[in-house]
């Protein structure tokens, strides 16, 4: 039986290859701006893939205290900044709510890899005395979540999931559950990743899952297109403020959308490949719809995982067709990875943020570089620029290495009689 606590999105903070902050990010997506370029963080010449979605010119001292930044890896800096932006967007004043009922769930997949690489090089070159005491705290998956909790004095639930590419969506889903059952009033939730670093990048190249369209980098990420040849790695963070509706209503917070459904399943199949028949994807979408009390025909838009890999896009398309049936012909689908790349653990959170913005604006960002449809990926993809739609409910889904699947359903916020009287 569904708990009575309604949950809404009241703040959005993002750090992405096409913009830092909700407004720059959203304007860039709607304009079809591409954030993919040749890697500058290291020399990629000897790698199979030369491009990625970098956060260019990230002057961290402009966004956070420089002393705190020095104690954090790049991924945690991204997560901290995204959380700070989300709190400001929500109008949260730490003196105006119960800190013991405000929590943080910000996950990561790979964590502080840049710190690990630098510390290992120092160890090999100069010995153990060259390794500083902050290496451990900078590399922990929970570094961003803890920094946000400590800095803002948030004493409620604290967690940092690590479920590969579904991490950000899982974090938001877990936060939704906490609020729904009444264990907190406010939750900051999302994911952060900064894996454009020699070691993880080399390993991803070795999987041969990344695009090698090195002579045409802005057209390399092409979800669901017949000529796709792999994903493009990105980096960044997405954090949203989720809040119990009554709490948000009392403080007159902005409301982007209402979260109404969450699904979480496992393929139990393979460490990197999706289950061929897409059963896990199908079950997670159906689970999220049941949780929302909706049927497939209630959904107007799916913000797809859409990685641009051969297997994922084909399997995801088949799963959507199976779940939505005839309604799939009326369903709008897009993947923003075509513009920002695959942000790995941060992808689900950033894409959920985009979905919430679609709910509040009625605009759907396009899937760029989709030029030739593949027979196995025949859906109504938004491809010729952003589209305006009368949207009542939408779905955001993420699928990760190891077979983790997460799906979130949001709907347009409508005040109840109770909130109107409050």
Catalytic residue among 50, 247, 305, 370: 305
Residues 274 and 315: beta-carbon distance below 8 Å = yes
Catalytic residue status for 165: yes
Question: How buried is residue 392: exposed, middle or buried, by Cβ count under 10 Å (0-12/13-18/19+)?
Answer: middle
Q: What is the DSSP string of 331-379?
A: -EEE-THHHH-B-GGGHHHHHHHHHHHHHHH-EE---TT--SB-TT--S
- The catalytically annotated residue of 5, 50, 152, 165 is 165
d(CA 342, CA 325): 28
Known catalytic residue: 5? Answer: no
Helix crossing, 113-126 with 74-90: angle to 10°?
Answer: 150
Identify the burial level of 1 via C-beta atoms within 10 angstroms of its C-beta, where 0-12 means exposed, 13-18 middle and 19 or more buried: exposed
- Strand pairing of 37-38 and 19-20? unpaired
Query: Exactly one of 342, 370, 377, 407 is catalytic; which is it?
Result: 342
Catalytic residue check, 327: no
Q: Report CA torsion sign: 378, 380, 381, 384.
A: positive
Q: Which residue has tokens 């840049």? A: 114
The pair of structure tokens assigned to 202 is 């080399």
| Tokens coding 387 | 């589209």
In order, the DSSP letters of 52-70 are EB--TT--GGGTS-HHHHT
Catalytic sites, residue numbers: 165, 305, 342
């Amino acid at each position: 039986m569904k708990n009575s606590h309604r949950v809404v999105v009241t703040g959005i903070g993002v750090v992405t290859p096409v913009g830092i902050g909700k407004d720059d990010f959203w304007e860039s997506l709607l304009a079809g701006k591409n954030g993919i370029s040749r890697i500058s963080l290291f020399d990629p010449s000897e790698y199979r893939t030369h491009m990625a979605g970098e956060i260019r010119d990230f002057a961290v001292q402009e966004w956070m205290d420089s002393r705190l930044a020095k104690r954090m890896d790049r991924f945690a800096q991204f997560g901290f900044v995204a959380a700070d932006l989300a709190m400001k967007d929500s109008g949260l004043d730490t003196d105006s709510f119960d800190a013991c009922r405000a929590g943080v769930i910000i996950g990561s997949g790979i964590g502080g890899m840049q710190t690990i690489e630098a510390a290992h090089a120092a160890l090999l070159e100069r010995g153990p005395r060259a390794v500083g005491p902050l290496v451990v705290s900078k590399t922990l998956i929970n570094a961003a979540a803890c920094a946000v909790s400590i800095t803002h004095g948030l004493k409620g639930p604290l967690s940092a999931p690590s479920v590969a590419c579904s991490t950000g969506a899982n974090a938001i889903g877990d936060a939704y559950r906490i609020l729904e059952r009444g264990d907190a009033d406010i939750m900051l939730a999302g994911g952060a990743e900064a894996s454009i670093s020699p070691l993880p990048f080399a390993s991803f190249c070795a999987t041969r899952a990344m695009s090698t369209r090195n002579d045409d980098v802005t057209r390399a990420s092409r979800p669901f297109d017949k000529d796709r040849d792999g994903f493009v790695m990105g980096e960044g963070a997405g954090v949203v403020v989720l809040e119990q509706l009554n709490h948000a209503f009392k403080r007159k917070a902005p409301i982007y959308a209402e979260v109404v459904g969450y699904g979480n399943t496992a393929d139990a199949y393979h460490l990197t490949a999706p289950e061929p028949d897409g059963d896990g994807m199908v079950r997670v979408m159906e689970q999220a719809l049941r949780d929302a009390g909706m049927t497939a025909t209630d959904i107007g838009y799916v913000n797809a995982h859409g990685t641009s890999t051969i297997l994922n896009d084909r399997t995801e398309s088949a799963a959507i067709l199976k779940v939505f049936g005839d309604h799939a012909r009326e369903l709008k689908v897009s993947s923003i990875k075509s513009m920002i790349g695959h942000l790995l653990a941060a992808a689900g959170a950033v894409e959920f943020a985009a979905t919430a913005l679609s709910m509040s604006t009625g605009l759907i960002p396009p899937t760029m570089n989709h030029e030739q449809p593949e027979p196995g990926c025949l859906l109504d993809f938004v491809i010729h620029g952003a589209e305006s739609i009368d949207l009542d409910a939408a779905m955001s889904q993420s699928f990760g290495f190891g077979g983790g699947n997460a799906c979130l359903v949001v709907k347009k916020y409508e005040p109840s009689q109770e909130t109107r009287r409050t």
